[in-house]
Amino acid sequence: MTEVQEIEKSAIELPRHKQVVIIGGGVIGCSVAYHLTKLGWQDVVLLERNQLTAGTTWHAAGLVEANGFFDETSIEMAKYTRELYQTLEAETGQSTGYKPVGYLEFATSASRLEGLRRIAEFNRGFDVQVEEISPSEIKRMLPLARTDDILAGFFCAEDGRVNPIDATMALAKGARMGGVQIFEEVEVTGVQQNNGRVTGVVTKLGEIEAEYVINCAGMWARQIGQMAGVNVPLHAVEHYYLITEPIEGVTPDYPVISDLDRYAYYREETGGLLLGLFEPIAAPWGMNGIPKDFSFGEIRPDWDRMMPYIEEAMKRFPVMQHAGIHKLFCGPESFTPDMAPLMGEAPELKNFFVAAGFNSLGILLGGGVGRVIAHWIVNGLPDVDVSEINIARMLPFQNNPKYLRDRTVEVLGMMFKEQFPNRQYDTARHVRRSIFHERLAEAGAYFGAYAGWEYPDWFAPKGVEPRVEYAWGRQNWFEYSEAEHRAAREGVVLMDYSVMGKILVQGRDAEKALNRICANNIAVPIGRIVYTQWLNELGTIEADLTVTRLSEDQYLILTGDGTRTAVLAWLQRNIPSEAHVFVTDINSAYSVLNIQGPKSRHLLSRVTNADLTNEAFPYLTTQEIDIGYAPVRALRVTYVGELGWELYIPTEFSLHVFDTLVAAGQEDGLVYAGLQALDSLRLEKFYRDFGNDVDNMDNPLEAGLGFFVDFDKPGGFIGREALLQVKQTGILKYRMVQFLLEDPEPLLHYGETIYKDGKRAGYIRSGGYGHTLGGSVGLGFVENQEGVTRDYIDSGGFEIDIAGDRYPARASLRPLYDPQLERVRC
Ligand SMILES: Cc1cc2nc3c(=O)[nH]c(=O)nc-3n(C[C@H](O)[C@H](O)[C@H](O)COP(=O)(O)OP(=O)(O)OC[C@H]3O[C@@H](n4cnc5c(N)ncnc54)[C@H](O)[C@@H]3O)c2cc1C
């Protein structure tokens, strides 16, 4: 810093109190500031360590694309951003440099073509106008491009490019016009808190008290998080582009192009071509923390590493091979372990929000991110599905630097890889392994990863290598998983269920406190299992789990491990501080085996003294039983729709119980089953999967879970009044429906459009193959302004679009498999 700057800086007088402090003046911080003013919040200050855009924003390539996402929230955020960049100038007088030159993606293989067709159809459902165009049309549009290997292109005329600095400046100007104070050259050096709530920030120029602090510090956000005791799992990775000298025929209206199979994107820049790369394995950066003084910085490029990718990418535009290189640029960008941003209130600290980790999409999502975060802060809840972006989905171990470094280098490349169903990361694996892992590996398990756990996805028969061959059609494990499915329906299966998150809630007030949080009534006799949702004040779903009463003052909460952080935070925030309640995360204390199928009683009866008859051990109850020499907490419950028990086994007894069950199971033909079989079984039974089929925007009545809501219990529950209003309207315009394709061949995965009498009516939230029902099964919400009644559903006319082809489907509001629960209650 120069002497003049030092003097100017010491002259800065910071406010002592503000309602909101935003840390970071990149596109995200400025967008959040701008959007807070739109919602009427003006008492906001933004602090930037250097100058606005000095972090990552200044050097972004500025690609803007609404097409290309495969989830509703990202599409909404990208679409909104695209519109905002076109209207900000009229409002602020500052241009964003937005040019709707169009965005074109190439498919050069049959599977890529199918994938892009699926994504394009999904996007059309949200009014993103994507056209499939032929290679000859591409040739006409891009005479300089080689097109002989292209099968088709997907063109979105409204997409284009923006100038990231100008867009940020326009947002900053709009924010200032709305009353926000912006200070440059002010570094936040500490975050203050009291009693679990953020209270302000520390700078060299003094402290600012605040009710809310928003961490928009880009790749520094992890370090800011550490100041606050908040996990912000992201890591910087090198991202490259080069710019050629001017090329004849490359004009300013050249479309943006993604050549996904060459990991490359292209756009015009000062008469030449800008070529950016998403190579399969990138290089990590900033392993010892991001330098504090890295401003408008560049990284020294590693030409040797990048050359093979550059050469390959230049083959698309052979003219590049002879054009001079004007610049080879390498800059850092933050990536997250699962390629989705980290947004929302930190589970560790009340009123401390994060908006970081944009995986090279911060410019094109920036407007929408600001809108969503501002809404979330001002209204207390988000107004979009946040299942995939909520920072609360992350577990503490994911902030481990080695894990982040190893994983994020693969995430960069994943941006352009084919998003096959069931796609797994290869890096940072074997982080969490259940105690049964080696036994299951020996039995032929193919492992997927969920929340760091290695879980068996399916089992290869003897002599077959457990390796997946990705495809949109039937993958190589289809038949193996079918055999597991059939064993669950006809015999008995064993599943490793250790990925379940386990939480103990104890204390004199446990019943009262939990009953206020649960929509169902958990004031039940000891030993009962209650399936319930947790709702927010709007009556929409925050969690979907079971609560089991272990004793007068003890409850066991079971939830997916990926939602454990969010569930713990919800408990923390909604149990009154004066209540006599203690919440303990007991995740590692137990491993879990799931024994399911009509022969499960016969198998278990031979290894326990407990009476497992229906009378002695009814459905939705629990008992502590012995298995072999071990004490085991057995829950009679099912997620597959058969007779079965989940066994919670103290860790040190786990292998003994496993071996005991496997030995006894020989007589019953016990089969190992993986999560693919589980998914197929639960889809047939119309069991919802929170975060996939149902999310924070859905209420239990629309989701078909009204049966599990007790409106009349004493004391009510959070969200009751809002939900009651929905109920009293007497009509549901939006409702979850189960579908079965009539044609047994095509496969449903996710995102396929539902048509009713030729009109778009919704999309499939999750799909899989129902081996018992004999076709693909999908769950999706259907919308109809006159009401989604049984008559409406029974009148038929449903079709589901898969990559451009429509297939007739049977629709139902009740499970197509065992609607009377006869198989479960026997
Ligand atoms: C080569 C390259 C090309 C890209 N191309 C595109 C593209 O085409 N389209 C797209 O959408 N995205 C693109 N991106 C990604 C995009 O640039 C980022 O996602 C986006 O800029 C992130 O914005 P941000 O505001 O989160 O972070 P930043 O811009 O880094 O802003 C964070 C700010 O916080 C400040 N800060 C840090 N610590 C403190 C502190 N202690 N106190 C105060 N202030 C602090 C920093 O100085 C910085 O200005 C690209 C990225 C790279 C590297």
Q: Which atom of ligand 1 is nearest to the CA of 359?
A: 19
Q: How many Å apart are CA 575 and CA 512, to the nearest integer?
A: 9
Which residue's CA is the closest to the ligand 1 atom numbered 27? 218
Which residue's CA is the closest to the ligand 1 atom numbered 16? 362
The CA 86 to ligand 1 mean position distance, Å, reads 21
H helix intervals, 623-667: 654-665
Which residue's CA is the closest to the ligand 1 atom numbered 19? 362
Whole-model pTM above 0.95? yes
The CA 217 to ligand 1 mean position distance, Å, reads 8
218 within ligand 1 shell (Cβ under 6 A): yes
54 within ligand 1 shell (Cβ under 6 A): yes
The CA 288 to ligand 1 mean position distance, Å, reads 19
415 within ligand 1 shell (Cβ under 6 A): no
What is the DSSP-derived secondary structure letter of residue 93? S
28 within ligand 1 shell (Cβ under 6 A): yes
Q: Which atom of ligand 1 is nearest to the CA of 224?
A: 41
370 within ligand 1 shell (Cβ under 6 A): no
pLDDT at 9: 55
363 within ligand 1 shell (Cβ under 6 A): yes
357 within ligand 1 shell (Cβ under 6 A): no
The CA 604 to ligand 1 mean position distance, Å, reads 57
The CA 116 to ligand 1 mean position distance, Å, reads 28
* Mutate which of 22, 56, 63 for ligand 1 pocket (most atoms within 8 A of beta carbon): 56
Which residue's CA is the closest to the ligand 1 atom numbered 52? 60
End-to-end CA distance of the chain: 77
208 within ligand 1 shell (Cβ under 6 A): no
DSSP-derived 3-state class of residue 51: coil
Q: Which atom of ligand 1 is nearest to the CA of 55?
A: 30
Provide the residue type at 322 as one letter.
H
Kindly provide the b/e burial profile for residues 195-204, where b requires at least 16 CB atoms within 10 angstroms of the residue's own CB: eeebbbbebe
Q: Which atom of ligand 1 is nearest to the CA of 295?
A: 47
160 within ligand 1 shell (Cβ under 6 A): no
DSSP-derived 3-state class of residue 459: strand
Q: How many Å apart are CA 44 and CA 36, to the nearest integer?
A: 8
The CA 58 to ligand 1 mean position distance, Å, reads 7
The CA 363 to ligand 1 mean position distance, Å, reads 8
27 within ligand 1 shell (Cβ under 6 A): yes
Which residue's CA is the closest to the ligand 1 atom numbered 50? 60
Q: How many Å apart are CA 330 and CA 350, to the nearest integer?
A: 37
* Mutate which of 45, 279, 363, 369 for ligand 1 pocket (most atoms within 8 A of beta carbon): 363
Burial level of 528, CB count in 10 A (0-12/13-18/19+)? middle
Q: Which atom of ligand 1 is nearest to the CA of 356?
A: 26
The CA 12 to ligand 1 mean position distance, Å, reads 25
187 within ligand 1 shell (Cβ under 6 A): yes
Closest CA to 240 of 335, 312, 358, 330: 330
25 within ligand 1 shell (Cβ under 6 A): yes
* Triad 366, 154, 365: Cα angle to 5°: 5
Mean pLDDT by 10 residues, the chain (826 residues): 50 92 98 98 98 97 94 98 98 98 98 96 96 97 97 98 98 98 98 98 97 98 98 98 97 97 97 97 95 94 94 97 93 97 98 98 98 98 98 97 98 96 96 98 97 97 97 98 98 97 98 98 98 98 98 97 96 97 97 98 98 98 98 98 98 98 98 98 98 97 98 98 96 97 98 98 98 98 97 97 97 97 95
pLDDT at 280: 96
24 within ligand 1 shell (Cβ under 6 A): yes
pLDDT at 68: 86
The CA 360 to ligand 1 mean position distance, Å, reads 9
634 within ligand 1 shell (Cβ under 6 A): no
pLDDT at 4: 43
DSSP-derived 3-state class of residue 98: coil
361 within ligand 1 shell (Cβ under 6 A): yes
Q: Which atom of ligand 1 is nearest to the CA of 364?
A: 11
The CA 164 to ligand 1 mean position distance, Å, reads 10
* Mutate which of 31, 188, 215, 220 for ligand 1 pocket (most atoms within 8 A of beta carbon): 220
234, 359 Cβ separation under 8 angstroms: no
Which residue's CA is the closest to the ligand 1 atom numbered 49? 55
438 CB-near residues (< 8 Å, 6+ apart): none
DSSP-derived 3-state class of residue 768: strand
171 within ligand 1 shell (Cβ under 6 A): no
Q: How many Å apart are CA 523 and CA 521, to the nearest integer?
A: 6
The CA 682 to ligand 1 mean position distance, Å, reads 42
456, 674 Cβ separation under 8 angstroms: yes
Centre a 10 Å sphere on the Cβ of residue 580 and count the other Cβ atoms it contains: 14
Which residue's CA is the closest to the ligand 1 atom numbered 14? 360
* Mutate which of 101, 232, 360, 411 for ligand 1 pocket (most atoms within 8 A of beta carbon): 360
255 within ligand 1 shell (Cβ under 6 A): no
Burial level of 47, CB count in 10 A (0-12/13-18/19+)? buried
Centre a 10 Å sphere on the Cβ of residue 735 and count the other Cβ atoms it contains: 22
Q: How many Å apart are CA 788 and CA 801, to the nearest integer?
A: 20
The CA 337 to ligand 1 mean position distance, Å, reads 18
Q: Which atom of ligand 1 is nearest to the CA of 265?
A: 8
Backbone phi, then psi, for 677, in 5-degree steps?
-65, -40
156, 67 Cβ separation under 8 angstroms: yes
217 within ligand 1 shell (Cβ under 6 A): yes
Kindly provide the b/e burial profile for residues 764-774, where b requires at least 16 CB atoms within 10 angstroms of the residue's own CB: bbbbbbbbbbe
533 within ligand 1 shell (Cβ under 6 A): no
Provide the residue type at 764 as one letter.
I
The CA 169 to ligand 1 mean position distance, Å, reads 14
Q: How many Å apart are CA 17 and CA 28, to the nearest integer?
A: 22
CA atoms in the 13 A half-sphere facing the CB of 109: 11
157-to-29, 66, 101, 136, 175 alpha-carbon distances in Å: 29, 10, 7, 17, 30
* Mutate which of 57, 354, 372 for ligand 1 pocket (most atoms within 8 A of beta carbon): 57
398 within ligand 1 shell (Cβ under 6 A): no
